[in-house]
Every structure is written in C-alpha cells, then in structure tokens.
Structure 1
Amino acid sequence: MSESEAPGRAPRGFGVAGTRPSPDVREETPMHDHRRIGRELDLFDTDPLIGAGLPYWLPDGGAVRHALEEYIRTAERRAGYRHVYSPALGKRELYEISGHWSHYGDDMFPPMDVGGEQVVLRPSLCPHHALIYRSRSHSYRELPLRMAELGGMYRSELSGVLGGLTRVRAIQLNDAHIFCTLDQAADEARAALEMIGRAYEALGIAPTRYRLSLPGPGGKYVASPAMWERATALLTEVLDRSGLPYEAAEGEAAFYGPKVDIQVTDSAGRESTLSTVQIDFHQPEQFDLHYIGADGAKHRPVMVHRSIIGSVERAVAHLIEVHGGAFPAWLAPVQVVVLPVSDAEQERAEDVARRCAERDLRAEVAGAERGSLGARIRQARLVPYQAVIGPQEADGDRVALRLRDSRRPDPLPAAEAIARIGGLIASHSTALWDGDADA
C-alpha cells in the first residue's frame, strides 16, 4: 500500500462537487489521494516492523488529530455528554453476551490466553459503556445519560483491503452512547444528526448521502423482528422530521439494529461511512440494563449509539482528500508562519511567534536561513497566515499579513493581528478573515 515519496510540499488543495472545499479555494479539481499527500506533508506514515494497517502519526499529523479531538470533546461537553475511559481489552465472555462473538467474530482478533482467561482486543466500545452504565443505579430523572469516549478499537481487516488511513486495524473512534427512555430516543437521535451537521460545517466537508441501513437476507442479525421494526420506525421518524434526503439500503445494518449512516466518497470514488446514528434495543436487554421510573419500578432504557466524526483516521483521510492539505485554519498543523525579511528582524519574529503560542496558535518562524523571502512564502503556501516582518514592521511592532489565498490585509499591530486570527480559529470558522462568509 506504500506509495513513492515525493520531495517538497503538495499543491494547495481543491474540492469537488458535493464537498465543501476550503473557503480560499476558487476552482474545483478532483480530490487528492490522502495516501500520497499525507506522506508528502509529513502527516503520517507506516513501517513494516509495526505492521500493515497500523499507521503512525508524525508531528504535523498529530497536530491535526489533536485539534480534531479537542473540537469534538468540547462539542460533546457543551451538548451534555460526560466523558469516560475504558480498557481496549475485554474478556471473551463480554463479547459473547453482547453478541459480537457470534455475529462479528470473523472481524475480531483471536483471543489471548492470560491467567487462565481469554481476553480479546475490543471491536467496539458499546459493551464497555453498557457495563459502565450498569455499574451504578439510575433514576428516570438522570435520563438521558450521555456517555462519550474517544477510544481505541481493533478490527482484523484482511491485508488486501488495508490502505492509508481509511482501512486500518487500530481505530480511534469518536463514540458515544445515550441511555434514555423510549420517549426520548427520537429526540436524542435527531440531536446527534444536528451535531454531525455542525461538525461537517466546521470541517468544510459535506456528505455524499444519508443512508438508512437495514438488515438484508443472509446476514448475521439478531433474531427479533419486533425490535427491528420498532427501531426502524424511530429512525425513519427522525430522518423525516429532520428533512434530510435519505435512501434505504438493505444488508447494511449493524447486527443488533438499524442505523443512519452518513456516507462520504474518496478520491477514487469509493463510498464509505464516516458518521453514524443507531437506536439499539438489543444491548440493554443483553446486559439487563434498567432505570427506576416515576412509578418506582424497573424499566429498560433505550441505547442510542452515535459517532459524530467517526474514526479519527478516516476523518483525517477525508479531510486530506477534500482540502489537499489546505485545511481550515483551526485544523492546520501550522496556523501562522512568521517571516522576517532578514536576520535583523529575527528577534522580533520570534517574539511574535511566542505571542501566538501564548494565544494557543500553532506558529513557527521561517528565517532568512531558509532562503529568499519569496522562496519561504512559496514553501509556506499551505499555512493559513503568513506574517511578514520587515524593518518598518519591526520598528512599529506590526505585521504585514498574507493570507493563504494571496490576499494582503493592511499591516496591523501584531497584537491585533494575533487577536483576530485567534478569534477566527477559536470559533472553528472556515473563513480566513473577518467578514468572509464561511464556505
């Protein structure tokens, strides 16, 4: 799956019809292959000693990933989610109870014998979250209880389907499970779809289509027709009330229930699922989950599964392909590059970069030792903001900004420029400058 390495930086990225390119892009060309560009931009790579389907993240890729993770954790916290951590391993018995062992075993890694027990790398986070819910008693007054985790899970993918970041064996999934009453389930699922829409807007991407994924003939599904009918009716209601166009697809459901899949398309035209919303009656039954209702009796909660950005790996792959490395400013590995015209402005440039870092901006100095000013500007063409400092700017503590789209605002006091850039990035806007419309 390795591709030849090419020196230098990739050209600025452009989108395609049906996607949302970066706002500074003015024309449309085909998507880029994230496997090539991701390596050229030093975002990720692989090594045969680590293994196929197990990419590692380089510092610039780590910065993109961290920004994405912080965005989704903040969005979830503001939406009332509480974050947990759970182990990447579980006993085989756990997955026998959940149904993964019988319905999903072909995609799981084989069990490991440890201390007379068999433990398995988890293929999913939901069994762990069901146990966390079960570990404490709950009243109807606590519901909906929204539990989120950005955690690792593992799939025994065949070597022939592995590629880049889209098909991997170790996945960091933005997962969450909402434990709620039956009356709350549709509203929680619809709220999850709205969160997905806001996230896609901030990321500058758009879905190819919405899919209502249903069971099909011959699949390994939980045998409970009434459960399937009730869950499908709820998800259909959610989609209809949301006003989203969607298509039903048989054979694409999870083994325990139907789901709404948000589909995206890569540079080769291959469609895959990025985000998902599911309504599940099976897991609460399997793990004997309950809450105490207003009548003082035990009642079974509904479990809503949802992933806003899907796996971090697939999300970053899609972002690379849509933006070609010209990420929205809040995601860019380097957000501000400070360019002293000569060595005489180096000290002032380092001071500006330090003040950017204090504002939580990712900034670096590209000094004269890297070549002429023109060459340094070209090298930094994917960086959203270039702050040029010549003799006049150094004397007045000002910067001459160049935006990634070649616009040049009037020179500004350094403090004002940093504050304006910081405000745009903190808002997760896709606009490059005040007054721009988001893409």
Structure 2
Amino acid sequence: MQDHRRLGRELGLFDSDPLIGAGLPFWLPDGSAARHQVEAYLHDLERRAGYRHVHSPVLGKRRMFELSGHLANFADDMFPPMAVGEDELMLRPSNCPHHAMIFRARQRSYRELPLRIAELAPMFRAERSGVLGGLSRVRQIALNDAHVFCPEEQAAGEVARVLRLMREAHAALGLRPASVRLSLRGPGKAYGGSDASWARAERLLRDALSSSSFSYAEAEGEAAFYGPKIDVQVADAAGREWTIATVQIDYHQPERFDLSYIDASGAKAHPVMIHRSLVGSMERLFGHLIELHDGAFPVWYAPVQLAVLPVGAAHDEAAAAFAERVLGAGLRAEVLPDGSVGARIRNARRVPYLAVIGDREAADGRVALRLRDGRRLDPMPGAEAIALIDAVASARSQGLLPQAR
C-alpha cells in the first residue's frame, strides 16, 4: 500500500500550492472525474433510500453556533468570526446546525417522520499545521452528510438502516473497514445534554449494532460533544486508523434549537437527531481509496476507463473516432498518441482497458482490449467492446469482465 500523498500527485489526481495554503488541496481533472462518479452514486443511493437533498450556506451567525454548542465545545477548531455589518458570521465546522434550521423551517407532523435530509456540503476546520496531511486531514472538507429527524421509537431502526447503507456503499467502492467502534464519553471533556439522554442514546446505538450483527469495540472519550456515535475505521499505508463513516445519536441540539413535531396526541415533542455519513469526506475517502487500490480504481469510477493507443500517426484518425464513440456512450476515454507503444502501455497501466489501434483495427473496426491485469481479449467489434466496458461500469463491479449470469 503506497502513501496517497505521493501517489495521488504522481497520477495527477490532486495537488496543492503555497499560494492557496496548507490543508487546502485542489482536485485535478482525473481526480475530479473519479470524485464526480462517487458523488453521483452516493446521491442516487441516498435518493433510493428515502433521503431528500438540500443545499445550505457555508456561513452562519455566531449565535447559531452558540446555540448548537459548537462555540462552547469546538471553538478551537473553528475559524474566527467575520464582522459583516452588525452581524458576526462564521464558517461552519459542521453542517448539522443548518440542517436543524431546515427541519424547523415549518411545523412538522409525526406522519412526516422520519425526515431524512442529505447534502454533500463543504465545511471548515481550523486544523493546526502540524496535523495536516495530504487528503486525510484538511481545512476544507466536502462531507457526505445527512441528518434524520425521527421520534425516539424509530431511532434504532433508522440507525440500522444507515448501517446497511454503509455496507452497500463500502462494497461498491471496494472499501474494507479495519474496525468498528462505539465512541463514548470520557473523563476530562465537556459534553452537552443530560446523563439520561446520553444513556438512551448509547442504548439505541447498541441495539442497532446488535440487530445489524456488527462486531465492535468501545472507545471512551471519542464521542461527539452532543452524543455517542458508531465510527467505522480504515487503516492507511502507515497503519494509522481514520474514521471513514459514522452514525450518531443527538438529543442535545433538538433541545437547544427547540425543534419539535406534533405527535399522535396533538402535543409537541422533540425529535431525535441522527447524524450520519456513509463514507466521510471526499478528501479522506479518496486518500484511502488511492492507497487501497494503488491508484487503479474500479472501472466505474476510474478517471479514464479506456486508453486508446494509435500505433502510428496513420492510425490517429481511427483512434480518435473510436474514442469519440466511447465518450458518446457515456464512458471516459482518452487517446494517448505520443511515445513508443510499449512506453504508452506502461504509462497507462492503471487504466482498466487499453485498445491498440493499428492497420488491422483501423481497417475492420475491431479492437482487442488489453486488461490492466495483463489479460488480452480476442478482437471484437468496437460496439461490443464498448458494451463490455459499460456493463462492468454499470454493475459497479470490482472486476474487469461482466459477471456470468
């Protein structure tokens, strides 16, 4: 497993510049292409699971973060307020206060719950220079985030639903978690809410873990300031563990923001707020995926799915025409015209498929696909090769050939 900080730059996935600043990497075209595919997949996965997607501002008034508890418990990790007229605005360190405001935008009935809202949203952490590293620890995070608002009796079932979604997303991405932990309160830290609400939240998470057959270890002192959480961990190239996915129970913020719904008896009641991220931030996720796959991503989110290599200048036109057909089919292709064929094949070794176009291929419209694992397929019509790649990508398979039915 190679360090993503070196490999990601070598492969042109991301980079950084001192003029932008430490902890603020930028995504290059190939990294952006892979990220876009993963984001689109997550959006559709959430939509099918009953989530409604929203957009919210990255700024909020200081008062909102006072009410949420972030300023009391998380101020060291927040950027300082900005004076704008009579207001003090702050960059958000998390998205939950904004989502709480979305919930309370109008009165809710118990018949509308659970309300599941999701957003792939930027948030900001004033991380110290000494802890920044590649994509794993940055100052601007694009988080796959969502919040579920529900009555307490629905909470354990909703957490179990989240855990099932996590498993589905991780399987599609090829993720292999290293461990699962139940993160609890610990001594020496300040936490919001009552002992009774924390006890209820811990019970709900344990029930969900039990019903989902997850093995886990308890970790004191790793809870969020507003509630306990389940954290899914992955290991990096150096053996360090990072949280890649999480689901949390929160009684604290619904009370602080006076969130309510009308229950079956006609009375107002506070909902439980469930925080969840299936795969964490795009930055940390891709830092891990780069290392896990050695930059050779599964076909469905590989930046370039097919490299087309014309043998010589006489074959450029045929290579370009085939690449256009691939692009027209909704796939990602690139023509590699310069250098020896051998050197170009080596340089494209992480691309899932290669098609070398010579005299015979230009003449009869057939291509012989080379797979990045070294296998070669018999020559086939261009349309058949495109259909093969599309079938593997559409199935989000971890392999390079369609699964036999």
- Is the aligned partner of 1:420 residue 2:383? no
Match of 2:366 among 387, 393, 398: 398
How far apart, CA to CA, are the structure 1 residues paired with 2:340 and 2:10? 23
What pairs with 1:3-18 in structure 2 (closer than 5 Å)?
none
How far apart, CA to CA, are the structure 1 residues paired with 2:279 and 2:326? 28
Q: In structure 1, what is the equivalent of residue 13 of structure 2?
A: 43
Alpha-carbon offset, residue 205 of structure 1: 1.6
Q: Where does structure 2 lack aligned partners over 5 or more consecutive residues?
A: none
- Is the aligned partner of 1:134 residue 2:104? yes
Q: In structure 2, what is the equivalent of residue 301 of structure 1?
A: 271
Q: In structure 1, what is the equivalent of residue 401 of structure 2?
A: 433
One-letter amino acid matched to 1:315: L
Q: In structure 1, what is the equivalent of residue 35 of structure 2?
A: 65
Match of 1:185 among 131, 143, 155: 155
How far apart, CA to CA, are the structure 2 residues paired with 1:436 and 1:203? 21
How far apart, CA to CA, are the structure 1 residues paired with 2:123 and 2:404? 40
One-letter amino acid matched to 1:342: G
- Is the aligned partner of 1:285 residue 2:241? no
How far apart, CA to CA, are the structure 1 residues paired with 2:351 and 2:199? 50
Alpha-carbon offset, residue 332 of structure 1: 1.2
Is the CA contact (8 Å cut-off) linking 2:336 and 2:344 kept in structure 1? yes
What pairs with 1:45-194 in structure 2 (closer than 5 Å)?
45-194=15-164
How far apart, CA to CA, are the structure 2 residues paired with 1:241 and 1:190? 7
Alpha-carbon offset, residue 345 of structure 1: 2.4
Is the CA contact (8 Å cut-off) linking 2:231 and 2:246 kept in structure 1? yes
Q: In structure 2, what is the equivalent of residue 379 of structure 1?
A: 347
How far apart, CA to CA, are the structure 2 residues paired with 1:116 and 1:142? 37
Q: In structure 1, what is the equivalent of residue 283 of structure 2?
A: 313
Alpha-carbon offset, residue 223 of structure 1: 4.2
- Is the aligned partner of 1:244 residue 2:214? yes
How far apart, CA to CA, are the structure 1 residues paired with 2:12 and 2:321? 27
Percent identical residues: 61
Alpha-carbon offset, residue 395 of structure 1: 2.3
| Cα root mean square deviation, aligned | 1.3
- Is the aligned partner of 1:231 residue 2:236? no
Is the CA contact (8 Å cut-off) linking 2:54 and 2:117 kept in structure 1? yes
TM-score (norm 1): 0.90
Higher relative CO (Cα under 8 Å, sequence separation at least 6) belongs to 1
Alpha-carbon offset, residue 117 of structure 1: 1.2
| Equivalent position SS for 1:330 | helix
Q: In structure 2, what is the equivalent of residue 19 of structure 1?
A: none
| Equivalent position SS for 2:368 | strand
Is the CA contact (8 Å cut-off) linking 2:308 and 2:336 kept in structure 1? yes
Q: In structure 2, what is the equivalent of residue 219 of structure 1?
A: 189
How far apart, CA to CA, are the structure 2 residues paired with 1:81 and 1:405? 38
What pairs with 1:329-368 in structure 2 (closer than 5 Å)?
329-367=299-337
Match of 1:328 among 288, 298, 304: 298
How far apart, CA to CA, are the structure 2 residues paired with 1:249 and 1:436? 43
Alpha-carbon distance change, 281 to 318 in structure 1, aligned in 2, over 3 angstroms:
same
One-letter amino acid matched to 1:48: P
One-letter amino acid matched to 1:230: R
Alpha-carbon offset, residue 298 of structure 1: 1.8
The list of structure 1 runs, each at least 4 consecutive aligned residues, that deviate by more than 3 angstroms after superposition, is none
One-letter amino acid matched to 1:264: V
Cα deviation per residue 1:274-305 (whole Å; 9 max; x = unaligned)? 10001111111111111122222222211111
How far apart, CA to CA, are the structure 1 residues paired with 2:261 and 2:380? 59
| Equivalent position SS for 1:97 | helix
Is the CA contact (8 Å cut-off) linking 2:391 and 2:402 kept in structure 1? no
| Equivalent position SS for 2:21 | coil
Aligned residues: 405
How far apart, CA to CA, are the structure 2 residues paired with 1:252 and 1:47? 33
One-letter amino acid matched to 1:432: L
Q: Where does structure 1 lack aligned partners over 5 or more consecutive residues?
A: 1-30
Alpha-carbon offset, residue 169 of structure 1: 0.6
Alpha-carbon offset, residue 220 of structure 1: 1.5
